[in-house]
Structure 1
Amino acid sequence: MVDETAGESVSAPHRSAEELVAKAIAPVKPEYLRPPPVRSGDTRRSGGDNTGDEVSKDKTGDSAGSGLVKEKRSKRQQKKERQQQIKSAANVCAQVGRTGNVDSCPFGSNCRFNHDLEAYLAQKPADLEGTCPFDSEEKICPYGVTCRFFGTHKKNLIRESQDLQRRKSHEINNLDKDLQKSLWKGKVKFPKAEAQLKLLGLKSGKKASLETEVEQEEINEECVEDGDKPEEESRPLKRSKSEGDTDCTNETSNGKSCVEEECENEIAEDKVENGSPKDNLKLSSKVEIIPELHLREKKLIDFRGKLYLAPLTTVGNLPFRRVCKGFGADVTCGEMAMCTNLLQGQASEWALLRRHPSEDLFGAQICGAYPDTITRTVELVDSNCSVDFIDINMGCPIDVVVNRGAGSALLTKPTRMKSVIKAASGIIDRPLTVKVRMGFFEGRNRIDSLVADMYNWGASALTVHGRSRQQRYSKHADWDYISKCVDNAPQELNVIGNGDVFSYCDWNNHMSQCPKLSTCMIARGALMKPWLFTEIKEQRHWDITSGERFNILKDFVRFGLEHWGSDNKGCVETTRHFLLEWLSHTHRYIPVGLLDVVPQCLNWRPPSYYGRDDLETLMASDSAADWVRISEMLLGKVPEGFTFAPKHKSNAYDRAENG
């Protein structure tokens, strides 16, 4: 492996531990180091017997993110292949597969899928090792003969279709089908959100939200350029008037303001378009002005001293959170969900809100660009999900999010931040938390000047990631700046620090550096070693064995099969996909017993080394081919033509986009 900053080989046995640490190279004991590999072209090293040639390429048309190599085909050819696949023996009817009865399908001969059970069983892959995760819990497996553990079923056949709806009864916050259909049709009403937006003088819609901010943002930018704090509290929110408009504070002939009259007109027009109120799914029986709750009246959560697992994109799924809960995580938060997708009823986005009963302190994180969108989403989640708090992401650095005006883009718009927090916090009695970065551009940090304001706007807790959006995940987190934010915060506000926690020593140092800090959020450290929570609670460096690490992967696979399903059609491969994404992070962990300097730092580049046994050596490989080998030890052989490339490219060290 090459140290890109120094232009030298990472494997350099003649260097002292101090020299290696100075160059951000992990000081592995010399007896475990590999000799420098012989390379040809860009071939990557491998910890096992493979050469890494099976790693899919990012810059080709091979659909690297999906893991399947696909050639370009015409739409007609793709349609023909889909029709052939539907009728193939492998694509058995789900109802027939569940019950084992060819007559159980309500569509009969008109069904699009195959009903030939014998043909399906003849081509079905061999069962996986172990027992069915559903049968082990004394439940009847909802996948019947299609389950990859069918041979271990205690009750092999017969399951009524209505029982299938209860297969995820151990999970909370499943999307109700009636609610989903109403969201599709735009029939869900948001009375609390509309009333709160009216109360704050905020119109609905992207254009109106932009108009509300134009003049105030120009003033704020000038203040920030001069180093002054934006005087937002002294200026009421207002929308700029075009030619012919009147002041929104003027009363009309019926004694109501323009904003109130326009809001009522919009509601009346919506009733005419969508039918009578009885035909619409409503969250409340009538629209009324909701008085803003003072923070004393809200339910509060004391985050002080609690171990908080950060919301992690892709890898922070429910099975992974269950693994972390088993190691002592106190607070968990779901993956970031986009507000627009939730409001459209997208099942894949709602799946990010699912909660396991073991998550006793759980929050949902949402991300949006405008006050009306976020406020409606907060009301929707608050009314239909079991969560202890709702977190608004204002720090996500991913381009696709920032380009929509969400995530870190909000850091450049303090007036919009104010509108979002005030509107969202005013309609719920559970805590509303906010996650931010230091600022958008490096060297132009502004969050420290807004910390006290965020509490006044309605935030119960604030998480500060000690990097700017421009930094992404490169360089060290700035804990001096986090400490400055803590000092500026009122006593009642929980301030949580985030960045570079990879050992109990890091935890202790950050907590002692910022005595008023409530806790530290743990993100990439948990991805690389989820037992970090145990290390912090027990104040020790755990020299975990390869066997113990493999058992953790077994638990993840078991949780994944329970969560995504145990049939071969997609579900097992879904578990494999997320396992491989996780392995793209875990290979960076270096066992304690192999290091000359303990503890390992998050930014250290691991050299090529041997483990203390073959399994530990395999786990240290940064080759996707070896990660696939590990997945095959747990989930059987991969499909023909399968390849994998990590979504977050964690081997780049500065481009991981989790959290």
Structure 2
Amino acid sequence: MIDLSHSKQFAIKSGGRIMETTKEWESADADAAVKREISSPPLASATNDVDAPATKKIKLQDTESLIVDARDKGIARIKPEFLLPRPDKSTISTLPDDDDAEAGGTKRKKERGQNKNRRFAKAREVLKFCESLKNGEGTCKFGNDCKFEHDVAKYISSKPADLEGTCPVFDAIGYCPVGLKCRWLHSHYIVEAGKLLIDEGKKAKAGREINRIDRDTQNTLQKKKFPVPKSDLILPYLDSLKELDMKENNARKAVTNEEEEEKDYEEEEKKDLAATYIEPPFLPSEKRPLNLHRAKILSPLTTVGNLPFRRLCRWFGAEVTYSEMALSLPLLQGSKSEWALPRSHTSEIPNFGVQIAASKLWQAVKATEVLTTACETQISGIQDVNLNCGCPIDLIYRSGAGSALLDSGSKLIRMLKGMNYVSGEVPVTAKIRMGTRDNHPNAKNLVRRLINEGDVAAITLHGRSRQQRYTRVADWNYISETADSIRYLYLDHDENDKEQRERRKVWFVGNGDCYSWRDWWDAVETYKVDSVMIARGALIKPWIFEEIDARQYLDKSATERLDMIRKFAQFGLEHWGSDEYGINNCRRFLCEFLSFSCRYVPVGILEVLPPKIQDRPPMWRGRNELETLLGSSDYKDWIKISEMFLGPVHESFDFKPKHKSNAYETEG
């Protein structure tokens, strides 16, 4: 039986008791679900997973009548029957600090954030078993000199008792990669024969992870011997452009005839230098095409945008996904942790992009060449390489990367030009913000420059400045103005510039505060962007992609949401492993995910629609106790939820939330 003592104070406020088993929850939830009308129209599906969720719409009675213009600013209004008594202190607190959602987990100011010095202990085995023998066979090349355990029976007897049930990884893919280290070992190990079971049928059909690099490639990178011939060719040319730009900037005075002649000479020098290249760079129109027209795109997300979460969003209908932001220099240094970020699952193919950040020209160019040659691009493992030009975090900004590039337009253009040259058939894209300072947006002019240069296949504009970070609402009027200026630019090209007219048009994607299907469709139909990149909206409710297809709010029951968490845990165990170390990792990232998903307020208890991402509710109770539990902002409840699928918490496990994730704190 699961100990839910940490949840009791949360549920007692609603006058109920804690359900002791998931069956009781599901039974209670099913009774509530009978009262809702369910229909099942066909919806578009863009996932490669076989066990995709049922695409059903749960209709809300009188949905349209709930939509009003007037609302309390910053407050999500809850139906009176679901409100809890107001405590002495205000029920509405400050907005959560979401800097880490789309940026990077880095050092922050002393007074900002919560639990700033988080540490995650690693699970330790009593006996460490030799990795060479984990599959029950093979030999250790170190023999008797190996410091790890080789005796299978002794190792198994030292392990804690196996978890109940079948190994989720074995059940999903037909074998367990961690072998004898699995915490569900009894379900796929024959003790008498000393043999691990393999289901060849499931194994043949199972997806796999790609964009890995082998140990030899990693060693080559660490020794700085990985060949980057295209980068070696283009970087001197790009450096010469920088020198010429500096000369032009220093000589901006009254133009004389001599200066005009010198300028013409410099232009000829540029052309001569460019003509020395035997292989001309691909134009975006000659590269592998992107199709982002009304595509459902998941934004690059730090920490929570890991591979299991992206698979979950694909399961819900996302069509394009991006890796977490990877830093160029650690990639070039062969850092194991950094190379885990571009890794993807075959269910994400072909529409998976890798986002990188770089402060130096050579870092961006060489990292792009390494990514597009070392990874499995032959099976379209990388759809595009996206340059992060919007990260607002201080450590990234001060290094000259992220949003700092917005104030260095010439440097940014040279970066994209070099990346485009070395990436072969893989197109290059960019994600930017409105600018670095409030009231001084420069994205509109920057976008026009990038399009005229012809080195990017798509541009995503986040409707906030770097200074603004995630405070206040995103400025979709500015995004719309930028979209209009792009249309006028293309009209001018069509009339006057034959070379530009022949180029493939650049996709323009909006980003910021997309929390519902209405937000998404307003963006593409009213603000005239090609598509919308969804970030925190997907973190809070990953089924937003289903809502977009249905053009309707989906009132997901608590049981359906619990099944979503179960799915994440399954994907996480496949990715991190079903041994103690993998379970600890999976539990940690599941809690990170729950720190966002607990902010979801079921639309069935809202008094006013549409919901807004910046609105915070007063204290509320759900329609049943499981729904109340899933809305808890107490991280101890998140850990207890994880125990339903990952077993009891290991004594070494410790989790502290990255930031406050809800509008109120639990009392007690």
Shift of 1:168: 9.9
Would you say the 8 A contact 1:168–1:563 is kept in 2? no
Q: Is the partner of 1:391 in helix, strand or coil?
A: strand
Q: 1:500 aligned to 482, 489, 513, which one?
A: 513
Q: 2:176 aligned to 141, 154, 158, which one?
A: 141
Q: 1:24 aligned to 74, 80, 94, which one?
A: 74
State the alpha-carbon separation in 1 of the partners of residues 517 and 420 from structure 2: 34
Amino acid at match of 1:25: I
Q: 2:654 aligned to 627, 643, 653, which one?
A: 643
Amino acid at match of 2:584: E
Query: Which residue of 1 is the match for residue 385 of structure 2?
Result: 390
Query: Which residue of 2 is the match for residue 92 of structure 1?
Result: 129
Using CA pairs under 8 Å that are at least 6 residues apart, name the structure with larger relative contact order, 1 or 2.
2
| Alpha-carbon spacing, 1:248–1:512, altered in 2? closer, same or farther (3 Å) | closer
Shift of 1:110: 1.8
Query: Which residue of 2 is the match for residue 603 of structure 1?
Result: 614
| Alpha-carbon spacing, 1:535–1:109, altered in 2? closer, same or farther (3 Å) | same
State the alpha-carbon separation in 1 of the partners of residues 522 and 444 from structure 2: 21
Shift of 1:499: 0.5
Would you say the 8 A contact 1:432–1:459 is kept in 2? yes
**Any unmatched runs of 5+ in structure 1?**
1-10, 45-56, 70-81, 204-208, 223-233, 239-246, 261-286, 654-659
Alignment of structure 1 residues 157-168 onto 2, 5 Å: 157-158=194-195
| Alpha-carbon spacing, 1:250–1:370, altered in 2? closer, same or farther (3 Å) | closer
Would you say the 8 A contact 1:192–1:289 is kept in 2? no
* Offset from partner CA, 1:526-569 (integer Å, 9 cap, x none): 0000000000001111010110001011111111111111111x
- Whether 1:372 and 2:397 are equivalent positions in the alignment is no
Query: Which residue of 1 is the match for residue 525 of structure 2?
Result: 512
Query: Which residue of 2 is the match for residue 553 of structure 1?
Result: 565
Q: Is the partner of 2:386 in helix, strand or coil?
A: strand
- Whether 1:439 and 2:451 are equivalent positions in the alignment is no
- Whether 1:327 and 2:334 are equivalent positions in the alignment is no
Amino acid at match of 1:602: I
State the alpha-carbon separation in 1 of the partners of residues 557 and 270 from structure 2: 72
Amino acid at match of 1:181: N
Alignment of structure 1 residues 466-615 onto 2, 5 Å: 466-489=463-486, 490-491=489-490, 492-515=505-528, 517-568=529-580, 570-615=581-626
- Whether 1:179 and 2:204 are equivalent positions in the alignment is no
| Alpha-carbon spacing, 1:437–1:58, altered in 2? closer, same or farther (3 Å) | closer
Shift of 1:140: 3.2
Q: 2:371 aligned to 372, 378, 381, which one?
A: 381
State the alpha-carbon separation in 2 of the partners of residues 411 and 217 from structure 1: 18
Query: Which residue of 1 is the match for residue 98 of structure 2?
Result: none
Query: Which residue of 1 is the match for residue 325 of structure 2?
Result: 336
Q: Is the partner of 2:209 in helix, strand or coil?
A: coil
Alignment of structure 1 residues 37-52 onto 2, 5 Å: 37=87
State the alpha-carbon separation in 2 of the partners of residues 125 and 406 from structure 1: 46
State the alpha-carbon separation in 2 of the partners of residues 554 and 153 from structure 1: 21
Shift of 1:388: 1.3
State the alpha-carbon separation in 1 of the partners of residues 584 and 166 from structure 2: 17
* Offset from partner CA, 1:547-603 (integer Å, 9 cap, x none): 0001011111111111111111x1111111110110110011000111001221100
Would you say the 8 A contact 1:192–1:290 is kept in 2? no
Amino acid at match of 1:170: R
Q: 1:412 aligned to 407, 413, 427, which one?
A: 407
Q: Is the partner of 1:358 in helix, strand or coil?
A: helix
Alignment of structure 1 residues 78-157 onto 2, 5 Å: 89-99=126-136, 104-137=139-172, 139-153=174-188, 157=194
Amino acid at match of 1:368: A
Query: Normalising to structure 1: TM-score of the pair?
Result: 0.75
State the alpha-carbon separation in 2 of the partners of residues 346 and 409 from structure 1: 24
Would you say the 8 A contact 1:395–1:408 is kept in 2? yes
Q: Is the partner of 1:556 in helix, strand or coil?
A: helix
Shift of 1:106: 3.3
- Whether 1:195 and 2:233 are equivalent positions in the alignment is yes
State the alpha-carbon separation in 1 of the partners of residues 205 and 127 from structure 2: 23
Q: Is the partner of 1:646 in helix, strand or coil?
A: coil
Shift of 1:104: 4.0
Q: Is the partner of 1:438 in helix, strand or coil?
A: strand
State the alpha-carbon separation in 2 of the partners of residues 116 and 486 from structure 1: 66
Amino acid at match of 1:140: Y
Q: Is the partner of 1:467 in helix, strand or coil?
A: strand
Query: Which residue of 1 is the match for residue 302 of structure 2?
Result: 313
Query: Which residue of 1 is the match for residue 259 of structure 2?
Result: none
State the alpha-carbon separation in 2 of the partners of residues 393 and 118 from structure 1: 51
Q: Is the partner of 1:552 in helix, strand or coil?
A: helix
Would you say the 8 A contact 2:431–2:461 is kept in 1? yes
- Whether 1:402 and 2:365 are equivalent positions in the alignment is no
Query: Which residue of 1 is the match for residue 637 of structure 2?
Result: 626
State the alpha-carbon separation in 1 of the partners of residues 603 and 584 from structure 2: 33
State the alpha-carbon separation in 2 of the partners of residues 391 and 381 from structure 1: 12
Shift of 1:105: 3.2
Q: 1:350 aligned to 339, 349, 355, which one?
A: 339
State the alpha-carbon separation in 2 of the partners of residues 58 and 461 from structure 1: 38
Q: 2:416 aligned to 421, 431, 437, which one?
A: 421
Amino acid at match of 1:518: D
Would you say the 8 A contact 1:21–1:604 is kept in 2? no
Query: Which residue of 2 is the match for residue 77 of structure 1?
Result: none
Query: Which residue of 2 is the match for residue 300 of structure 1?
Result: 289
| Alpha-carbon spacing, 1:474–1:235, altered in 2? closer, same or farther (3 Å) | farther
| Alpha-carbon spacing, 1:340–1:419, altered in 2? closer, same or farther (3 Å) | same
Query: Which residue of 2 is the match for residue 50 of structure 1?
Result: none
Would you say the 8 A contact 1:217–1:413 is kept in 2? no
State the alpha-carbon separation in 1 of the partners of residues 186 and 661 from structure 2: 38
Query: Which residue of 2 is the match for residue 65 of structure 1?
Result: 118
* Offset from partner CA, 1:494-532 (integer Å, 9 cap, x none): 1000011111111122222223x1101111000000000
Query: Normalising to structure 2: TM-score of the pair?
Result: 0.74
State the alpha-carbon separation in 2 of the partners of residues 338 and 313 from structure 1: 12
| Alpha-carbon spacing, 1:250–1:92, altered in 2? closer, same or farther (3 Å) | closer
| Alpha-carbon spacing, 1:366–1:217, altered in 2? closer, same or farther (3 Å) | farther
Amino acid at match of 2:414: S
Shift of 1:39: 7.5
Shift of 1:295: 3.3
Shift of 1:63: 7.7
Would you say the 8 A contact 1:212–1:237 is kept in 2? no
State the alpha-carbon separation in 2 of the partners of residues 154 and 483 from structure 1: 59
Amino acid at match of 2:367: T
Amino acid at match of 2:393: I
State the alpha-carbon separation in 2 of the partners of residues 24 and 89 from structure 1: 51
| RMSD between aligned residues | 3.9
Amino acid at match of 2:463: G
